Structure 1
Amino acid sequence: MATSTRIDEAKGILAARLRALRSDAGLTGRALAARTGMDHTKISKIENAVQMPNQTDIRAWCKACSADEQVVDLIAAAQNIDAMYTEWRRLEETGLGRVQRSFQPLYEKTRRFRVWQHSAIPGLLQTSGYARGHLRTVIDFRNIPDDIDAAVAARLRQQGVLRDGTKRFAFIVGEQALRTPLVGPAEMAAQLDRLTELTDGVANLSFGIIPARAKPSMMPPENFWIYDAARVRVDTVPGQIQHKAPSDVAVYEKAFEALHTVAVYGQAAREVLRTVTGEFRAT
């Protein structure tokens, strides 16, 4: 889906929610305009997703409709639209090193990470060799400046947050992520060995696997990272979508819980890893 289409859809959803508040309050557009001090043409533009409301507009709209409890969620939705889409191309102009470094402040701020990835091993858990192969794939596909050494160094530096005992990490990966050979057999085996170590005795980290034949009640097609309960990063081919609206975050939290209920951990996870590792070592 194109960037403009995603943003237009998000604007349409916000407009529909505001229109529904007015309708549920039994107000006409002109009556709402009178209560809020807005021009009635502005009301129409907002409800038809022609004009974005600002925070003052949303607060006044909710107050006029006796829906103050909706303010926080609607403001978050509007902010999400303003900055929901991070264009990788803009960040990638000087290479992936800058992209990787841009994550560091958020990682340092976040206390609880919940991560789902079905296509590749999460960056915080990657070995140096695997990280190099993964990032090399992105550089070659996107045809961007080649700063592979800086990008790998930045990604490995991010992993320092794993040593912070005040943080909690819950990783779930699909079995396919373990099998996709982004690097050669020896490097894949080394990466899987590292994951095996994480399945036992790491106090602030859990690592689960969705077996290939498992059937969760919800199988998200996209990779996503939940940072505390404040925002969700969704990875797509052309870029990232940032969700900050509490209702959106809640949907991803529910999806993560659905994955957690069918994921295997501990000894069962080690058995999956040993099987896949053995296949790579036999190659």
Structure 2
Amino acid sequence: MSSQVEEALQALGARLRGFRKDAGFSSGRAFAHATAWQESKVSRIENGKQRPSEDDIRVWCEATGQGDQLGDLIAIVRHVDELWLEMRRLLQTGAEKRQQQAIPVYGKTKVFRIWHPTVVWGTLQTSEYASEVFKQVVSYYGIPDDAEAAVAKRLERQQYLYQGDRIFNVLLGEQALYTNFGGPEVMKGQLDRLLAVVRLPRLSLGIVRRSAPTAIWPGNSFSMFDEKLVLVETYSAELSVSQPREIEMYAKAFALLQQSAVYGAAVRDLILNAIQHFGRMPTD
């Protein structure tokens, strides 16, 4: 069990223990008697040694009069289930499957909040840029080389930029305009693509300048889908956040990052500067 899962279960157990005591059950034995459970089960749950089921949470809330906490606690349990997906396991059959899994999430989402400090967001990538990204993914994780198929699935997500009434709030760090995937020609093509999509009516593209005063440290990239899910990628794992209180923290972080961003003409100027930078580089 990862330390993150252990910490989450311990925090959940402490919260449930507080509910039990507040309800007048002075011991785990008394609570076990009231719920027809084994005393050892109560102890394991309260000490973070056992993951409670959703039904266990319902029983606990009913017995302690905490019905208004049910939704939040069930979200915590689901969060524990999803907390860490090892990247190798996620990608064990290649990168295409992971890209396919994202498409239904995009189809259901109405409001996107995206933060990428160093890389252009996948849905705004050109095929050439995305291909270079997936070559690195295949090499780094030592997975089957299905980069071409993965690129096709990633580009399939771009349909949502033009369909329905979805809102895309995208923030990139200025470094994302300069992180070199594939050389000057690939980068110039990608930057031209950004100049084109910045005019889309339901896309808000902000850039956080390298020297911009910050209201919060940049942190990892994350993608927020409505108020339901946040995905955070690291080198070793993908963190899936679904607990309402944690989602609120990411929403707050995004709002603070927005304070440091520029928009409109300033964004176009930054992109044009980056194009000029790559234009001066040798292509060999």
Which one of 213, 221, 224 corresponds to residue 222 of structure 2? 224
SS in 2 for 1:116: strand
SS in 1 for 2:30: helix
Residue identity matched to 2:4: R
Provide Cα deviations, 1:205-227, integer angstroms capped at 9, x if missing partner.
11111111123322241111111
Provide Cα deviations, 1:237-267, integer angstroms capped at 9, x if missing partner.
1121111111111111111111112211111
CA distance in 2, matches of 1:190, 1:60: 57
Report how far residue 22 of structure 1 moved.
2.6
Query: Relative to structure 2, which stretch is displaced further, 28-37 or 157-166?
Result: 28-37
Report how far residue 129 of structure 1 moved.
0.9
Residue identity matched to 1:154: K
Map 1:1-283 onto structure 2 (within 5 A): 4-28=2-26, 29-200=28-199, 202-283=200-281
> Where does structure 1 differ by over 6 angstroms across 4 or more consecutive aligned residues?
none
SS in 2 for 1:170: strand
Report how far residue 26 of structure 1 moved.
4.5
SS in 2 for 1:103: helix
SS in 2 for 1:232: strand
Provide Cα deviations, 1:103-151, integer angstroms capped at 9, x if missing partner.
1111112121111111211100001111011111111111111112111
CA distance in 2, matches of 1:216, 1:20: 38
Give the conservation status (yes or no) of the 8 Å contact 1:226–1:232: yes
Q: Unaligned stretches of 5+ in structure 2?
A: none
CA distance in 2, matches of 1:21, 1:118: 41
Residue identity matched to 1:235: E
SS in 2 for 1:206: strand
Indicate how the Cα distance of structure 1 residues 280 and 47 shifts in structure 2: closer, same or farther if over 3 A, else same.
same
Percent identical residues: 39
Provide Cα deviations, 1:156-197, integer angstroms capped at 9, x if missing partner.
112111111321111111111211112201211211121122
Give the conservation status (yes or no) of the 8 Å contact 2:215–2:259: no
SS in 1 for 2:52: coil
Report how far residue 97 of structure 1 moved.
1.4
Indicate how the Cα distance of structure 1 residues 215 and 30 shifts in structure 2: closer, same or farther if over 3 A, else same.
farther
Residue identity matched to 1:256: F
Indicate how the Cα distance of structure 1 residues 55 and 95 shifts in structure 2: closer, same or farther if over 3 A, else same.
same
SS in 2 for 1:75: helix
CA distance in 2, matches of 1:37, 1:214: 59
CA distance in 1, matches of 2:148, 2:263: 33
Q: Unaligned stretches of 5+ in structure 1?
A: none
Report how far residue 232 of structure 1 moved.
0.8
Residue identity matched to 2:262: V
